[in-house]
Structure 1
């Protein structure tokens, strides 16, 4: 089922409940399974990042983080979709919205480190692989770098 017209794209402030929901979802899906502390969520990029999400009827259903790494260059990270909403096109919708968000801010490109199972999603919106697979230093999960030029 690819019904995602009932979701709303929002930017999150770090002092609102949806942001807390996003932290919980990120921790549960990425870091808890590999026995990392919740403190791992608060890396150097967290406070200076843009936090984007999709919500439905007052509930967070998808999230991603955008961090400006240098002028007009961004990194997309920690994209998550709630387990019950995976496979419904919400990841694609959120990444597409994030690309529009970046273009509106004159970004020139965006990079990401994808888990291998997610490369199909990112390729579907134009990202290309840029490098070899590697193990994440934090989680030990295989990733690959991807890049999208926005200009």
Structure 2
């Protein structure tokens, strides 16, 4: 299993396929994709990007120590259950520790909450709706000092 840094352009196809299939491809391009502090990780299988996650430097309003936001996490249905998502988050944690981050946060779809809980995140908000996408919770990952 290979997890490595990838380019912003490499996350778009899987974002569209998994996260926003009924929206225009432009909806899969995020404002921070090309920001200097943003990084994109990809899980690679047989030369193909099968898992993605984008981490942008954006503090969580309720806890300024959480300085990065995960957006656009997706795994191809073809490889779900093979551990790509967990491996991608483990690599992201390594990168964030190197960048001296104290933790990160995300808006997790309700269907993804059990995955994030299994890998150690906690729910930090009531359920809320993101228009056109569905219900979410804010989830956080604080690194131990």
Partner of 2:34: 47
* Structure 1 residue runs of 4 or more that deviate by more than 2 Å after TM superposition: none
Aligned residues: 137
Q: Indicate conservation of the 8 Å contact 2:12/2:29, yes or no.
A: no
Q: Indicate conservation of the 8 Å contact 1:133/1:144, yes or no.
A: yes
Task: Give the CA RMSD over aligned residues.
Answer: 1.7
Q: Can you list the C-alpha shifts for 1:45-103, whole angstroms capped at 9, x where unaligned?
A: 22112111111221111110000014871001111111110122211111111111111
- Gaps spanning 5+ residues in structure 2: where? 60-64
Partner of 1:90: 84
Partner of 2:62: none
Measured in 2, the distance between the counterparts of 1:140 and 1:42 equals 15
Superposition TM-score, scaled by structure 2 size: 0.86
2:120 aligns to what SS in structure 1? coil
Measured in 2, the distance between the counterparts of 1:109 and 1:57 equals 32
Partner of 1:134: 128
Q: Can you list the C-alpha shifts for 1:103-150, whole angstroms capped at 9, x where unaligned?
A: 11111110001111211221122211001111113x231111001112
Measured in 1, the distance between the counterparts of 2:94 and 2:115 equals 16
1:37 aligns with 2:31: no
1:116 alignment partner, one of 100, 110, 113: 110
2:12 alignment partner, one of 12, 23, 26: 23
